[in-house]
Amino acid sequence: MRPLSRIHLGPGPEFDLIRDLLGSESPLPPGVLVGPGDDCAVMDGGFLISSDLVIEGVHFRREWVSLEEAGFRAAVAGLSDLAAMAAEPLGILLSLAVDPAKAQELAKGLQTGAEDACAREGVAILGGDLSASPGPMVMDVVALGRSQAPVHRVGALPGDEVWVTGWLGGSGAAVHLWKEGREPPAPIRESFVRPRPRLRESRWLLDRAPIHSMLDLSDGLAGDAGHLSRASGVGLILVEGAIPIHPSIKTSLGPEHVPLHFALEGGEDYELCLTAPPGALQELRGAFREAFGLPLTQIGRVVEGEDVLLERSGGELRPLARRGFSHFQETVNG
């Protein structure tokens, strides 16, 4: 594996700040192949590591989800970073900060959920930390994995097709409904509380097709397409009508909502977005659906340039406001 050094991040205030913080392109230390900017840091020897903070009031509210569900989601956020690079998971470190007066109940609930998410992927909690919190519950999930050939955000080539796994927008729609004071219908709620890291899916795809670039959809398709575009130094054209919007969105939201909005701007679907040469994935769709019960959908193409464009039904192209959902600007309290 060659060192990739720093990956370029897409636009958005959170990423501007990260860019600013990371500073100039300082060299990576020996033993480190990929530093800041990709889904995981990659160490010599093929070890991958990511770290995700999950904070009550920013990423979830107690009225919406159980402790177990909050812990489950946090573990999935970490494991999904490994899926994004087609790595094999080894386990997670789970660090918790909770109100010491209710520590037993709170920590146990969160940890049970995280354990469940890990067990479904055949891994376990390998360590972590426990602290008092003076305010909100805090979780940090460190995901550890292994790959001799991780797939990066860098690598998309003009001419590639852009594909996604699964259905998009469910998680964002659930948050939207909760904020309106409504309980989301079960399939929408499930998208938020029981996302799955696409670990098996990404390795299955990599075994069968030349995947050029990949990431997981944690900031919304618009934001994440921006990351991929900027990291690879290419433009993307996404076809509006092709985006696989979660089927329950149309039936559970009023006509004042544009379902596409949740797929583009809602975060935390944890599906994969990948690019591959023309024709490489087309005939795998049936086998993919059979293996995983999920659609595999071409949603666009890679072009020369640097813009992410949305192709409307009439063929008109409009620049995608590449903001994505940002936990930095919008919180679940917002």
Q: Tell me which residues touch a second copy (CB under 8 A).
A: 14, 17-18, 20-22, 26, 28-29, 31-32, 35-38, 40-41, 43, 45, 47, 49-53, 55-59, 90-91, 93, 95-97, 100, 103-104, 107-108, 111, 122-136, 138, 140, 142, 144, 146, 327-329, 331, 333
Closest listed residue to residue 212, CA positions, set 198, 227, 232, 230: 232
Q: Between 140 and 240, name the residue whose CB sits nearer to a second copy.
A: 140
Q: Between 108 and 120, name the residue whose CB sits nearer to a second copy.
A: 108
Q: Between 29 and 181, name the residue whose CB sits nearer to a second copy.
A: 29
Question: Could you identify the residue written with the tokens 């909005």?
Answer: 261
Q: Between 39 and 69, name the residue whose CB sits nearer to a second copy.
A: 39
CA distance 191 to 174: 8
Q: Between 131 and 251, name the residue whose CB sits nearer to a second copy.
A: 131
236 neighbors 215 (Cβ within 8 angstroms): no
Q: 163: which residues sit within 8 A by CB, 6+ positions away? A: 273, 274, 275, 276, 281, 296, 297, 298, 299
DSSP 283-322: GGHHHHHHHHS--EEEEEEEESSS-EEEE-TTS-EEE--T
Query: What is the bridge-based pairing of β-strands 138-146 and 88-98?
Result: antiparallel
- Which pair of tokens denotes residue 207? 């075994």
Q: E-strand spans in 115-194?
A: 124-132, 138-146, 161-165
Q: Between 148 and 313, name the residue whose CB sits nearer to a second copy.
A: 148
Beta carbon of residue 248, minimum distance to a second copy (angstroms, whole number): 28
Quick count: other Cβ atoms within 10 Å of Cβ 328? 14
CA distance 122 to 90: 9
Beta carbon of residue 253, minimum distance to a second copy (angstroms, whole number): 26
Q: Which amino acid is at 139?
A: M
Q: Between 139 and 168, name the residue whose CB sits nearer to a second copy.
A: 139
Beta carbon of residue 327, minimum distance to a second copy (angstroms, whole number): 5
Beta carbon of residue 28, minimum distance to a second copy (angstroms, whole number): 7
Q: Between 47 and 292, name the residue whose CB sits nearer to a second copy.
A: 47
Beta carbon of residue 72, minimum distance to a second copy (angstroms, whole number): 15
10 neighbors 326 (Cβ within 8 angstroms): no
Beta carbon of residue 129, minimum distance to a second copy (angstroms, whole number): 5
Strand partners, 162: 275, 300
Beta carbon of residue 34, minimum distance to a second copy (angstroms, whole number): 8
CA distance 152 to 110: 31
Beta carbon of residue 35, minimum distance to a second copy (angstroms, whole number): 5
CA distance 215 to 152: 7
